[in-house]
Amino acid sequence: MDQRNGARSGHQPQLRINVPSTARERVPSVDPYGFEHAVDFDYESYEELMSEYLAVLTRRSIKWSKLLQGKPRVDRNLKVKRYVRKGVPNEHRALVWMMASGALERMERNSGYYHSLLDLQHDPKLTETISTDLHRTFPDNIHFRLSSDPCLQRALYRVLLAYGHHNPAVGYCQGMNFIAGYLLIITKDEERSFWLMDVLLDRILPDYYTLAMLGLKTDQEVLGELVKMKIPAVWKLLQDHGVMWTLLVSRWFICLYIDVLPVETVLRIWDCLFYEGSKILFRVALTLIRPHQVDILPAQNLPDICERFKHITKGPDVHDCHTFMQKIFQEPGSLSMATVSKLRGSCRARIIAEES
């Protein structure tokens, strides 16, 4: 569509004579990442929120520029951690993710590796599985249209293919397409997306996407345990109705909140994910559940519970990403890595015992 307009050379874009008077006219219909707003997008609320958030972004942007000035690396220290929690400006995001997660180091150590993977003979089963999902990845994002240039759908194919060859134990698992898609949107670079993917799947989220998906199942149960400790009434409700956690939260973990929460909020979560690790996923989950106990508890049956769990991921609370990110470090209370590790150990053992 864009092309068509471009091709009509000689045609000047129509000049606006009137000053746009409504938010609908002022706010572009596509967000900064290429996602089209839904038909019923609430432009007024968005504009209101953005007018405040823009001030935050500007402030953060100045601070980050100072921090990064003349430095080839981001150090890991309390100041940087605090900065990350307050949000990485989009212009620095790719670099900060690369540095904080160790992906940059991996990339530099393995120069040329990504492209060598693409030169390999491709596993036909792998290419077929990936291809099935290409047109089902962000059809609402203009950069993923076949007509767009560069076309992220093609880049997505190559990143997933390379990753599948790089890590045959994982190959391709649905959900990875969304993750790689976001990485491409942010880094605008296949090789960087590949290495961020590698560090995510290999180090940050071990064993989420392998055949047995044991890491994923474990973390779902770990969340269950955390809810049992911190939000016992909700835990009891689920227990009473025999609801498995996987039914409610698997997408939260598999897609790392993509398509569960708004784009901007997801990116803010990922800032912390790349810097602090997978613990952050639990903080987000608990922050979604705990303040909304009162909305969840009246549920009377399984479909009702499912619906209420979907409902808590929507609304103004999650769109106000800055406040939401402040809340994730307060609302759930203390959550040490030691606790998470211990729970992971016991849950994992329980799952293995149940499955054998």
Compute the residue count for the chain.
Answer: 356
Contact call for residue 118 and another protein (CB under 8 A): no
Q: Based on the number of CB atoms within 10 Å of its own CB, is 328 exposed (0-12), middle (13-18) or buried (19 or more)?
A: buried
Question: Which amino acid, 217?
Answer: K
Return the residues of window 252-311 that contact another protein according to CB under 8 A. Answer: 254-255, 259-263, 292, 295, 298, 300-304, 306-308, 310-311
Contact call for residue 138 and another protein (CB under 8 A): yes
- Residues whose CB falls within 8 Å of the CB of residue 302, separated by 6 or more in sequence, listed in order: 241, 242, 243, 247
- Residues whose CB falls within 8 Å of the CB of residue 252, separated by 6 or more in sequence, listed in order: 260, 281, 284, 285
**Binds another protein by CB under 8 A, chosen from 7, 15, 39, 338:** 39
Contact call for residue 46 and another protein (CB under 8 A): yes
Distances (CA, A) of 241 to 228, 236, 303, 305, 337: 15, 9, 10, 9, 30
Contact call for residue 37 and another protein (CB under 8 A): yes
Whose CA is closest to 189, among 272, 113, 114, 100? Answer: 114
Question: Going residue by residue from 303 to 342, which x/- string records binding to another protein, judged by CB under 8 A?
Answer: xx-xxx-xx--xx---x-----------------------
Contact call for residue 124 and another protein (CB under 8 A): no
Contact call for residue 233 and another protein (CB under 8 A): no
Contact call for residue 164 and another protein (CB under 8 A): no
Residue with Cβ nearer another protein (312 or 335): 312
**Binds another protein by CB under 8 A, chosen from 7, 211, 338, 353:** 211
Residue with Cβ nearer another protein (83 or 208): 208
# residues contacting another protein (CB under 8 A):
63
Long-range contacts of 198-201 (CB under 8 A, 24+ apart): 198/103, 198/106, 198/163, 198/166, 198/167, 199/101, 199/102, 199/103, 199/106, 199/274, 200/101, 200/273, 200/274, 201/163, 201/167, 201/170, 201/176
**Binds another protein by CB under 8 A, chosen from 87, 89, 164, 175:** 175
The site for another protein (CB under 8 A) is made up of 31, 33, 35-42, 45-46, 129, 132-133, 135-140, 173-175, 177-178, 209-213, 217, 241, 244, 246-248, 250-251, 254-255, 259-263, 292, 295, 298, 300-304, 306-308, 310-311, 314-315, 319, 355
